[in-house]
Amino acid sequence: MNTEVRQQHPHTPQKKQKKYNQRTRDRISGYLYISPFFLLFGVFGMFPLIFTAYLSFHRWNILGEREFIGLSNYIGLFTNDPLFWKAVGNTFSIWALSTIPQLFVALVLAFILNQAFLKGKSFFRLSIFMPNVTSIVAVAIVFSAIFGTQYGIINYALSLVGLDPINWKGSYFGTHVAISSMVMWRWVGYNTIIYLAGLQSISKDLYEAATIDGANKIQQFFYITIPMIRPIIIFTVLLSSIGGMQVFTEPLLFGVGSDSQGLTMTLYLYQEAFERFSFGYAAAIAWVLFLIIMIVSLINLIVTRRIKST
Amino acid sequence: MKEVGQKKLPKIFLYLFLIVSSLVSLFPFYWMFVIGSNSTTSVNQFPPAMIPGTQFFENARNVFERIDFFGSMLNSFIISGTVTLSVLFFCSLAGFAFAKLNFEGKNMLFVFLLATMMIPPQLGLIPSFMIISQLGWIDTLQAVIVPAMVSAFGVFWMRQYISSAIPDELLEAARMDGCSTFRTYWNIVLPTVKPGLATLGIVTFMNTWNDFLWPLVVLKDQSVHTIQIALRTLNDVFYTDYSMILAGTFMATVPILIVFLLFSRYFIAGLTEGAVKN
C-alpha cells in the first residue's frame, strides 16, 4: 500500500532510485524472513501429508517390502474392521459427554464472572483456569486415582449417599464418563475465559435498556448475551469438536478397558502404527480421521450458519 | 427496597456456584499432594485419605529411584526453552515480513499458512517419524525441537500484533536513517512488540512442555525422556503404587504452575485477545 502511494509523489530521480532499491530489498528480506516456516512445513508438514496418502495404498510393516494394494486398506477399514467403528463411536460418545456440559458450564461461569458486583474475580478466574496449564499426563494420572474402582474418591462419595460403587474402568459408561470429565476439567476454564472476553465486549447500554424495560437477569441472558456472543460460541464449538476428535492421551493413560471401550480414533491410529507397525493401514486411518474431522467441521459451519440466519 | 431483597438470594447462589467450581478445579491439585504425601497403605483404604501425610519425601525418593526425574525435567526445560526462543525469533521475523514488507504473492502465502493450521497433527505422524529416523535423530532432543521451531499460529499471531502495534511512520523513519531491514526488525520492531512476544512465549512454552504424542514416538530411551514421558513410565510399570506416582506428578506440576501464576496476566490477556479477534 505504502509504496504505491509513495510512487505517485513527485520525487527527485535520485530518491526514486533509492526507493526502488528499498523495494527490492524488501522483497528479498520478505521471502527470506518467511522461508523458515515454509522450509520446515515442507519437510515436516507437506511431505508427510503426501507420503501418508501414498502409504495408505500400500501394505507395509517396518521389516517387509512395501507392496501396492490399491484401496484395500480403505476397503478393509470400512467393511471389515469393527474395532475401528467402535473407536469412532467411542470418540463421538466421549466428545458429546465432555463438550456439551463443558461449554454450558463455561458459559454460565463467564456470565457470573462478568457481573459488576462480584468480589474476588481474579481469584475465581485464575483457579478455574489453572487446570488448563497442567499436562494431560498429570491430569490423566490423577483422575485415574480419583476414579479408582476400589479406593477412588468418587466411589467413596457415592457410598456416602448410599449408592453402589461404579466399575469405572470396566464399563462403557464408567470409562466414557471418566475420560470425558478429564477433558471437561481441563477445558472449562479455557472456554470460560474466551466467553468472558466476548461478554466484556458487549455494550452496557443494551443491558441498561433491557433493565428499564423490565427484563430480568435470565431473560437478559437468553435475549441479549447469547445472541451477542454467538460468533464466539461458534468458535469454541468448532475448536472443541476438532480437539474432541483427537482425544488420545487420556484413554491411553486411563486404560482402554477389556472391551476396548476407551479406544479412540487417534489412539487406534497410534496402536496400529507404533505397536503393530502396520504403517500402511495406520496411514489409511489417518486419512479417514482427517476426513471425519473435516466433515465434523463442515457440519458445524452449516448448522451455525443456519442458526445465524434465523 | 423490594429490589434489594430480590437480588440478595441469587447473589448467594452465584457465589456458591463459583466456589464449587473453583473447588472442583483446585481439588485434583490438592489431592495429588494428599496421596503423594501418604503411604501406599493409607491410600488403599476406605475412606481414602483426605489430609496431607508425612511421607512425601519418602515417596519422592522412590520416584527418583524409578525414573531419572531431574534428568527428564532438564530435558523438558531444554526442549521447551529452545523451542520457545526459536518460535519467538522466527515467528516474529515472518510476522514482520507479512505485516510490513511488500513482496509478490504475500497474501496468497499467508492464506496458505493459515490453511496449514487446519491439518490435524496425527496425519503426518508416520512419515515424520520416518524422516526423523532417516536423519538418525531418534532418541535425540532435536527430534522434538526441530519440527517445532516455527509455527503457523505463531506467525499469524505476530503478524496481527505487529500490524496493529507498529505504525508505518516508525519504520519509515528508521529507513530514512539508513536502517537495514533486519536492523529495523531487531532494533525497532522487537522492542515494541514485547507484550505480544510474552504471550506467544508462554503459550509456546506451556504447549511444548505438555506435549505428549510426538515425544512418545521419537524419544524411546530413558536418558532423553521428557517429564511427561517419564511420568507415563512411572504410571505404566508400577501401576498400583499411587503414592509414588502422584508424588511424581505433583513435583512435575508445581514448576509449571509457578510459571503460569507468574505470567498469568499476559497469558489470559493474550488468549482473550486472540479469541475476540477471530
Contact A246 B272 (CB under 8 A): no
User: How many C-beta atoms lie closer than 10 Å to residue B82's C-beta?
Assistant: 18
Residues of chain B numbered 115-134 and touching chain A (CB < 8 Å): 116, 118-131
Provide the pLDDT confidence category of residue B154 given band limits of 50, 70 and 90. very high
User: Does A266 map to a domain?
Assistant: yes
> Measured between CB atoms, does B240 come within 8 Å of chain A?
no
The verdict on A176 and A303 lying in the same domain is yes
User: Does A65 map to a domain?
Assistant: no
Nearest CB to B126 within list A23, A142, A279: A279
Mean pLDDT over all residues of chain A? 87
Report residue B49 as a C-alpha cell: 485419605
> Measured between CB atoms, does B244 come within 8 Å of chain A?
no
What pLDDT, on the 0 to 100 scale, is given for residue A2? 45
Q: Give the residue-averaged pLDDT of A93-113.
A: 93
Report residue A102 as a C-alpha cell: 463443558
Provide the pLDDT confidence category of residue B27 given band limits of 50, 70 and 90. very high
The verdict on A164 and A266 lying in the same domain is yes
pLDDT tens digits, residue range B181-235? 899 999 999 998 988 898 899 889 989 999 999 999 999 999 999 999 999 888 8
Mean pLDDT over all residues of chain B? 88
Of A2-16, A187-201, B191-205, where does mean pLDDT reach its minimum? A2-16
Contact B14 A134 (CB under 8 A): no
The verdict on A28 and A148 lying in the same domain is no
The verdict on A256 and A284 lying in the same domain is yes
The verdict on A43 and A133 lying in the same domain is no
The answer to whether A57 and A77 are in contact (CB under 8 A) is: no
State the best of B106, B126, B206 to mutate against chain A, taking most chain A CBs within 10 Å.
Answer: B126
The verdict on A108 and A48 lying in the same domain is no
Q: Looking at the predicted structure, is the pLDDT value of residue B162 above 50?
A: yes
Range of the domain at A216: 74-309
Of A177-191, A204-218, A287-301, B155-169, where does mean pLDDT reach its minimum? A204-218
Q: Give the orientation angle of helix A265-274 with respect to helix A279-309, to 10 degrees.
A: 160
The verdict on A200 and A264 lying in the same domain is yes
Nearest CB to A156 within list B21, B24, B48: B48
> Measured between CB atoms, does B105 come within 8 Å of chain A?
no
Q: Which amino acid is at B143?
A: A
What pLDDT, on the 0 to 100 scale, is given for residue A187? 94
User: Does A158 map to a domain?
Assistant: yes
What pLDDT, on the 0 to 100 scale, is given for residue B53? 86
The verdict on A175 and A131 lying in the same domain is yes
The verdict on A121 and A237 lying in the same domain is yes
User: Does A154 map to a domain?
Assistant: yes
Dist. CA A168–CA A153, nearest whole Å:
12
Q: Give the residue-averaged pLDDT of B160-176.
A: 88
Longest dimension (CA), chain B: 77
The verdict on A101 and A178 lying in the same domain is yes
Distance (Å) from the C-alpha of residue A198 to the closest C-alpha of chain B? 6
Q: Looking at the predicted structure, is the pLDDT value of residue A267 above 60?
A: yes
Of A20-29, A281-290, B108-117, where does mean pLDDT reach its minimum? A20-29
Residue B48: its chain A contacts at CB < 8 A? Answer: 151-153, 156
Q: Give the residue-averaged pLDDT of B91-111.
A: 94
What pLDDT, on the 0 to 100 scale, is given for residue A1? 41
Report residue A259 as a C-alpha cell: 472391551
The verdict on A246 and A134 lying in the same domain is yes
User: Does A68 map to a domain?
Assistant: no
CATH number at residue A186: 1.10.3720.10
Q: Looking at the predicted structure, is the pLDDT value of residue A43 above 60?
A: yes
What pLDDT, on the 0 to 100 scale, is given for residue B135? 94
> Measured between CB atoms, does B12 come within 8 Å of chain A?
no
Nearest CB to A194 within list B113, B256, B272: B272
Report the DSSP beta bridge partners of residue B227: none
User: Does A118 map to a domain?
Assistant: yes
Q: Looking at the predicted structure, is the pLDDT value of residue A308 above 60?
A: yes
Dist. CA A288–CA A52, nearest whole Å:
11
The answer to whether A166 and A200 are in contact (CB under 8 A) is: no
Strand ranges inside chain A, DSSP E: 58-59, 67-68
What pLDDT, on the 0 to 100 scale, is given for residue A11? 47
Dist. CA A7–CA B150, nearest whole Å:
35
Residue A283: its chain B contacts at CB < 8 A? Answer: 126
Contact B253 A134 (CB under 8 A): yes
Provide the pLDDT confidence category of residue A216 given band limits of 50, 70 and 90. confident
Residues of chain B numbered 49-88 and touching chain A (CB < 8 Å): none
State which residue of chain A sits closest to B208, comparing Cα positions: A135
User: Does A6 map to a domain?
Assistant: no
User: Does A62 map to a domain?
Assistant: no
Provide the pLDDT confidence category of residue A64 given band limits of 50, 70 and 90. confident
Provide the pLDDT confidence category of residue B273 given band limits of 50, 70 and 90. low
Contact B48 A153 (CB under 8 A): yes
Residue B69: its chain A contacts at CB < 8 A? Answer: none
Dist. CA B34–CA B114, nearest whole Å:
45
The verdict on A178 and A287 lying in the same domain is yes
The number of folded domains in chain A is 2
State the best of A4, A6, A25, A29 to mutate against chain B, taking most chain B CBs within 10 Å.
Answer: A29
**ipTM score for this prediction:** 0.85
Q: Give A195's contacts (C-beta < 8 A, 6+ positions apart).
A: A106, A107, A109, A110, A111, A229, A232, A233, A236
Alpha-carbon A17 to chain mean position? 51
**Owner of C-alpha cell 469405572:** A168
Q: Looking at the predicted structure, is the pLDDT value of residue A62 above 80?
A: no
What pLDDT, on the 0 to 100 scale, is given for residue A4? 45
